[in-house]
Structure 1
Amino acid sequence: MSELYKVTESLMISNVRAACKKDLLMEEGVTCCINVSRRQPFPDLHLRTLRIPVFDHPLQNLSDYFDQCVELIDSTIKSGGKCLVYCKHGRSRSATICIAYLIKHRNMSLKDAFQMVKAVRPSIEPNEGFWSQLESYEKSLQLNH
């Protein structure tokens, strides 16, 4: 069982420990890492990287970063790459970003996107603040369609 959990063929989620295993990332063909934390390290590889400096706290505004993250995931995949999204434990922040991507670029409902990520990584649990931000994001995308 890989420590990088495949949400889609080109989108993975993990905790920081797995994200910093160079061999694992190279084996899986990861070309881009989104690190959703203030302090966790990046893997020591020449990859495209993005840090989203938020704590796993319900009052943190993660939704400000949704579009930036989902567009980076989308452009990585469209260019033939693979994206890994991670945070310290791979449960709340990284899951929230993966769910936001599925809502926007796979046209999924929040419920279906959550179930899809949960199916590959059962330990995910976006905190209640992030969940309500995802609900708002889903509504805003529906209004724009």
Structure 2
Amino acid sequence: MSATSATEILDNQLYLSDVHTAKSQEVRSNLGITHVLSITPPAVPALATTELNHLLIDLPDREFENLLIHLPTTSKWIEDALNEGGKVLVHCNEGASRSVTIVCAYVVKKLQIDSKAALEFVKAKRPNARPNPGFLKQLDAWSSCAYTIEVNSPAYQTWKDIREEDITRWIRQEQGIELVEVVRQQLFLNIYFKEDDICDIFSQLFLDYGTFKILSISPTQIPPSFGHPKDKYRHIALGAGSDEAELKKLFSQLPSIVKWMHEILTAEADCKPRVVIHCKDEVRGQIVACAYLMFSKGISAQASVEVLRSTSRSKVDDRLLGLLGANYAS
């Protein structure tokens, strides 16, 4: 198989390729292609042609992207095209991950085989087939969901729960970020980012997993060079130190901060929204975390401190309960 050829998956019916091959009118004409399914982000140009039936799925090749939700549409589209006597070419950028996953999903349903057998079937014809680990799990879920995605079904929710755990694990293991999980899979407290790494880490969180929001509190600062949209992060500007005057400034802003966090964390989204509180001054970060617990769970200052103490790897500041009791009522 050359780099400029399409791979025949089902005899004279279904083909796989990279984007360059898919854009070749000569290749499409020689194969008699009537339908092209592109799974690419907008940065990869769509096919500039009018003689084809063309379906475009806008999705990057990242482990935690939800390709599963598209599989009923893509499988039916392929099936309908083949039933009409058409010939289908499926492609992504390299013809290795996204497009392979879509073709495997169709093969799973058509041949009534499991995802492992489907991948082996495709790989025997296209050796560079290598869906990313997240897409492999979604192929398993596709079978568990019986080829129909109902967002409230137990099988789909099970896959989503696994994905949420995988994202948290990725943050901790792959990125080396030590996070205190204040509210499971939603609210995190961090004091350990190195300033030199902050832009790279935040870029990954924002660009790869867009439901992350960052709340930074002085003395931590989001660098001015960080150019992402302001709705992705919020900064609380305070003076140096944790003296009474600066803490009063923080407490005066808590109602709006807590409301901002609550709106994010209760929003409907495919991937659970997350807020990371980032502050090198432990007591400031702990104040915000406890204030959110008091507001969202309707608990007392003492109960919120106990929750934080039970989840935190670092020592809870001895002043925390007194500060909350004197300055904040949810």
Q: Taking structure 2 as the reference length, what is the TM-score of the superposition?
A: 0.42
Give the AA of the match of 1:106: L
Q: Is the 8 A contact 2:109 2:147 kept in 1?
A: no
Number of residue pairs matched? Answer: 143
Give the equivalent residue in structure 2 for 1:29. Answer: 32
Deviation for aligned residue 1:43 = 3.3
Deviation for aligned residue 1:58 = 0.5
Output the CA distance in 1 between the equivalents of 2:16 and 2:144: 24
Output the CA distance in 2 between the equivalents of 1:48 and 1:8: 19
Q: How does 1:44-83 map to 2 (within 5 A)?
A: 44-45=48-49, 46-83=51-88
Deviation for aligned residue 1:124 = 0.9
Range 36-45 or range 119-128, more displaced: 36-45
Output the CA distance in 1 between the equivalents of 2:66 and 2:23: 26
Give the equivalent residue in structure 2 for 1:136. Answer: 141
Give the equivalent residue in structure 2 for 1:4. Answer: 6
Give the equivalent residue in structure 1 for 2:107. Answer: 102
Range 102-111 or range 22-31, more displaced: 102-111
Output the CA distance in 1 between the equivalents of 2:144 and 2:54: 29
Q: Is the 8 A contact 2:108 2:114 kept in 1?
A: yes
The reply to whether residue 15 of structure 1 matches residue 18 of structure 2 is yes
Range 104-113 or range 81-90, more displaced: 104-113
The reply to whether residue 43 of structure 1 matches residue 43 of structure 2 is no
Give the equivalent residue in structure 1 for 2:156. Answer: none
Output the CA distance in 2 between the equivalents of 1:30 and 1:69: 17
Q: Is the 8 A contact 1:37 1:52 kept in 2?
A: yes
Output the CA distance in 2 between the equivalents of 1:49 and 1:34: 6
Output the CA distance in 2 between the equivalents of 1:83 and 1:135: 24
Deviation for aligned residue 1:138 = 1.0
Secondary structure at 1:122's aligned position in 2?
coil
Range 105-114 or range 126-135, more displaced: 105-114
Higher RCO (CA-CA < 8 Å; seq separation 6+): 1
Output the CA distance in 2 between the equivalents of 1:65 and 1:34: 12
Q: Taking structure 1 as the reference length, what is the TM-score of the superposition?
A: 0.93
Deviation for aligned residue 1:108 = 1.7
Output the CA distance in 2 between the equivalents of 1:77 and 1:110: 21
Deviation for aligned residue 1:142 = 7.8
- Ranges of 4+ aligned residues in structure 1 off by more than 6 Å: none
Output the CA distance in 2 between the equivalents of 1:107 and 1:33: 24
* RMSD between aligned residues: 1.5
Larger radius of gyration: 2
Gaps of 5+ in 1: none
Gaps of 5+ in 2: 149-330
Output the CA distance in 2 between the equivalents of 1:110 and 1:76: 23
Secondary structure at 1:30's aligned position in 2?
coil
Output the CA distance in 2 between the equivalents of 1:24 and 1:37: 20
Deviations 1:44-71 (A, max 9, x none): 3310111111000001100111010000
Secondary structure at 1:129's aligned position in 2?
helix
